[in-house]
């Protein structure tokens, strides 16, 4: 045991003395949280708009007010002529311009209809679509509130409820996904790199020729990253709950148990990768490109798996994060328990067992 | 300290990688307290043999005993009784001299008081006492090699295996390194050393020369020179290789 502890202490020295390791361990989780939380957001918030009110009547003023007080839009310019529009868009000062026709209120009263022109910057098509949808919805609500107070409108009234994420918050999607991706990064990639380093430096030979047992060497390499992975998972989870207000409706203990299982899986995957490679660079390349990208793109984190071609769906099913993200969403957002997630849990267990089994076989072959 | 008591016995050792025969029926004995040179060109099979004797690789066939323990079944016991220094530099560059020593002392299960006493003695002998808290990466290569050797024998093993320990080191440091080896022998440690520097072969008590996986000559440097009618080991080697 004291042999093992002596070895373990050395691992912590390695980690805390290497700036690159520290950046990956602590910088990347924070950077990713910021990235997904504040940069890659699909939510409409404080979009810069210009309003051209050619009517300036009571109704157009109240509707403008309604738009600007919604929290989605922010008045950035009041162009005086149509020739200004293009330069406003080109310089990026506004993303949308709303134009009221002259005699807006009068037309609406007399003819029962009036026109508003909405021009959006479609160089970012998804954003433009969202902004226009929000604008249309606000205008429709306004019209309904103003003119249909007393009468029941004919036709079908659709009432939508977005279950489990009523306000369509992005954080509900990215926090469960991010936990999966970050843990894969720290556990699998760092384990693979640290073992590969020992091989590359030639120190692995010395360790193997010492009275340390191979299992002690592997555990000594893995335990520090397991501890750091747990800390990292808890930090992301805490930030998700406190800063981004993502709920954990289901059992917290169950969630933690699943996180531990997933960390175990990622560590075994890291060990497996390390049995195939002899240099840190290869270890990084394999975990980075072969592992990270598919686990972000094919895990259902960003793109729904059901919409993928069959071939990619099959590949996606081989990605451990695909099963873990589903677990996270079910437990955190839907309040599901083991009844719902046991198949996923089983898949993760089988995958871990498989990785460990292949690693041990590879290790034995290497020694022969 | 030279005896005729064997600490390593190798009988008909064979190691195959697929159809390639790396060690072809090697048989030799190493006696307690001697410096046994294991010479040969690169790729002659020296490292393969040393790896088998250290328990890093398993042989295809043959009977081998190291420090009295069987290479197939008692590798754990063997590892407890040997020191090993590989071709590649083997200390941790990001740890200090002291931390490296503490690590190896811990891994070999040395008692703390014992380790401290030997560390002080060793650093004094190397003249490195002032550098105890320096990172290994900041030291010159020659110092590192000497330190790596001293750490490999810190736990007082019966045998120390050195796999080309002086590669890439200047002649003066090599000479100093060999002085350390002599000191180790005086303490009763048996030294098994591979090298392709033929001048170093002169420093061995006995030397074996390997070519294409076989041992082609094994005797004291003096007798080898007589037998091949050569002025030095370099000529012996060239005559054998031809």
As a residue count, chain A comes to: 368
Q: Do A14 and B94 touch (CB under 8 A)?
A: yes
Instruction: Check residue A365 and give its pLDDT.
Output: 65
Partner-chain contact A209 B55, CB within 8 Å: yes
| pLDDT value of residue B147 | 92
Asked if the Cβ–Cβ distance from B57 to A212 is below 8 Å, we say: no
B28 neighbors B175 (Cβ within 8 angstroms): no
Task: List, in sequence order, every residue forming a beta bridge with B14; answer none if it has no partner.
Answer: B61
Selected residue of A10, A15, A206, A364 to mutate for chain B interface (largest B Cβ count, 10 A): A206
Instruction: Judge whether A201 is closer than 8 Å to chain B, CB to CB.
Output: yes
Q: A289 vs B47, which has greater pLDDT?
A: B47
Q: Where are the alpha helices (DSSP H) in chain B?
A: 46-53, 75-81, 97-107, 112-126, 141-152, 171-186, 198-201, 221-227, 233-241
CA A113 to chain centroid: 44
| Cα within 13 Å of Cα(B25), Cβ side | 1
- Give the domain extent around B182: 6-241
Q: Tell whether B144 is within 8 A of chain A (Cβ).
A: no
Q: What is the ipTM of this complex?
A: 0.88
CA–CA separation, A109 and B1 (whole Å): 117
The whole-angstrom distance between A19's CA and the closest CA on chain B is 12
- Which 3 state secondary structure label does DSSP give A241? helix
Judge contact between A176 and A325, C-beta under 8 A: yes
Q: Tally C-beta pairs within 8 A across A and B.
A: 79
Q: What pLDDT, on a 0 to 100 scale, did the predictor assign at position A1? A: 76
The ranges assigned to domains in chain A are 2-40+169-367, 47-147
Instruction: Say how many domains are in chain B.
Output: 1
Q: Which two tokens stand for residue B96?
A: 């200090």
Q: How far is A185 from chain B (nearest CA, A)?
A: 24
Query: Could you give the CA distance from residue A320 to residue A127 in angstroms, rounded to a whole number?
Result: 31
Nearest to B56 among A3, A205, A213 (CB): A205
Check which CATH number belongs to the domain holding B161 and give it. Answer: 3.40.50.300
Q: Does B92 touch chain A (CB under 8 A)?
A: yes
Within 8 A by CB and 6+ apart from A163, the residues are none
> Positive or negative CA dihedral for A3, A7, A13, A16?
negative
- The edge-to-edge listing of strands for the beta sheet with B20-31 is B20-31, B6-17, B61-66, B69-70
Counting every residue written for chain B, the total comes to: 242
Subunit contact B90:A203, Cβ cutoff 8 A: yes
Q: Does domain A47-147 have CATH number 3.40.1710.10?
A: yes
The angle formed by the CA atoms of residues B78, B79 and B83, to the nearest 5 degrees, is 110
Asked if A62 reaches chain B (Cβ–Cβ under 8 Å), the answer is: no
Query: At what angle are helices A320-332 and A171-183 packed, to 10 degrees?
Result: 140
pLDDT score of A112 = 80
Residue A331 scores a pLDDT above 90: yes
pLDDT at A368 over 60: no
Interchain CB distance below 8 Å, A7 and B92: no
Of A14, A17, A367, the CB nearest to B58: A367
> Given a cut of 60, is residue A191 above it in pLDDT?
yes
Q: Which two tokens stand for residue A212?
A: 């340390």
What pLDDT tens digit does each residue of chain B (242 aa) get? 567 889 999 999 999 988 899 999 999 999 999 999 999 888 888 889 999 999 888 899 999 999 999 999 998 899 999 999 987 777 999 999 999 999 999 999 999 999 999 999 999 999 999 999 999 999 988 888 899 999 999 999 999 999 988 887 888 888 999 999 999 999 999 999 998 888 888 999 999 998 888 999 999 999 999 999 988 888 888 888 76
- Calculate how close chain A gets to B8, using CA atoms only, in Å: 16
Nearest CA of chain A to the CA of B59: how many Å?
Answer: 8
Contacting residues of A for B82, CB less than 8 Å apart: 209
Domain assignment of residue B1, yes or no: no
B55 touches chain A (CB under 8 A): yes
- Two tokens at A273? 């990768």
B145 touches chain A (CB under 8 A): no
The answer to whether residue A155 scores a pLDDT higher than 70 is: no
Per-position b or e across A194-205, b if 16+ CB within 10 A of its CB:
bbbbbbbbebbb
Alpha carbons A20 and A13: distance in angstroms, whole number: 13
| DSSP helix/strand/coil, B22 | strand
């Amino acid at each position: 045991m004291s042999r093992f502890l002596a070895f373990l202490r050395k691992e912590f020295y390695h980690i805390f003395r290497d700036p690159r390791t520290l950046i990956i361990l602590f910088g990347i989780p924070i950077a990713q949280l910021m990235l997904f939380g504040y940069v890659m957001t699909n939510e409409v918030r404080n979009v810069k708009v210009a309003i051209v009110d050619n009517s300036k009547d009571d109704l157009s003023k109240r509707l403008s007010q309604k738009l600007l007080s919604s929290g989605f839009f922010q008045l950035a310019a009041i162009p005086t002529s149509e020739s200004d529009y293009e330069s406003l868009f080109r310089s990026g000062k506004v993303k949308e311009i709303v134009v009221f026709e002259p005699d807006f209120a009068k037309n609406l009263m007399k003819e029962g209809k009036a026109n508003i022109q909405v021009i959006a910057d479609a160089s970012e098509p998804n954003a433009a679509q969202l902004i226009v949808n929000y604008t249309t919805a606000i205008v429709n609500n306004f019209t309904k509130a103003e003119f249909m107070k007393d009468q029941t409108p004919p036709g079908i009234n659709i009432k939508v409820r977005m279950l489990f994420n009523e306000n369509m918050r992005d954080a509900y999607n990215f926090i469960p996904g991010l936990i999966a991706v970050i843990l894969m990064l720290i556990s699998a990639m760092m384990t693979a790199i640290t073992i590969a380093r020992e091989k590359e430096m030639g120190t692995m030979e010395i360790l193997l020729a010492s009275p340390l047992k191979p299992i002690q060497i592997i555990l000594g390499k893995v335990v520090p990253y397991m501890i750091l992975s747990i800390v990292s998972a808890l930090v992301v989870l805490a930030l998700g709950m406190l800063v981004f207000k993502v709920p954990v409706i289901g059992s917290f203990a169950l969630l933690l148990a699943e996180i531990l299982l997933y960390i175990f899986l990622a560590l075994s995957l890291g060990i497996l990768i390390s049995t195939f490679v002899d240099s840190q660079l290869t270890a990084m390349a394999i975990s980075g490109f072969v592992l990270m990208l598919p686990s972000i793109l094919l895990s259902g984190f960003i793109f729904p798996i059901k919409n993928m071609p069959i071939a990619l769906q099959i590949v996606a099913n081989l990605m451990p994060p695909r099963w873990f993200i589903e677990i996270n969403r079910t437990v955190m957002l839907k309040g599901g328990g083991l009844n719902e997630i046991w198949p996923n849990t089983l898949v993760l267990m089988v995958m871990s067992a498989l990785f460990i089994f292949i690693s041990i076989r590879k290790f034995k072959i290497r020694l022969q | 300290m030279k005896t005729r008591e064997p600490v390593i016995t190798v009988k008909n050792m064979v190691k195959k990688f697929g159809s390639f025969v790396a060690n072809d029926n090697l048989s030799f004995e190493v006696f307690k307290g001697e410096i046994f040179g294991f010479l040969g060109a690169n790729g002659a099979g020296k490292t393969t043999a040393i790896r088998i004797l250290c328990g890093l690789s398993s042989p295809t066939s043959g009977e081998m005993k190291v420090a009295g323990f069987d290479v197939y079944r008692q590798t754990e016991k063997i590892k407890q009784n040997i020191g090993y220094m590989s071709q590649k530099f083997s200390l941790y560059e990001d740890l200090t001299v002291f931390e490296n020593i503490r690590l190896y002392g811990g891994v070999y299960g040395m008692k703390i008081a014992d380790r401290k006493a030997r560390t002080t003695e060793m650093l004094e002998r190397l003249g490195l006492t002032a550098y105890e808290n320096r990172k290994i990466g900041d030291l010159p290569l020659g110092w590192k090699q000497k330190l790596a050797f001293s750490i490999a024998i810190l736990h007082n093993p019966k045998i120390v295996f050195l796999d080309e320990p002086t590669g890439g080191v200047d002649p003066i440091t090599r000479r100093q390194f060999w002085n350390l080896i002599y000191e180790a022998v005086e303490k009763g440690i048996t030294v098994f050393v591979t090298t392709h520097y033929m001048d170093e072969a002169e420093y061995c008590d006995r030397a074996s020369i390997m070519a294409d996986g076989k041992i082609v000559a094994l005797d004291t440097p003096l007798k080898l020179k007589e037998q091949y009618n050569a002025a030095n080991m370099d000529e012996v080697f060239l005559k054998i290789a031809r």
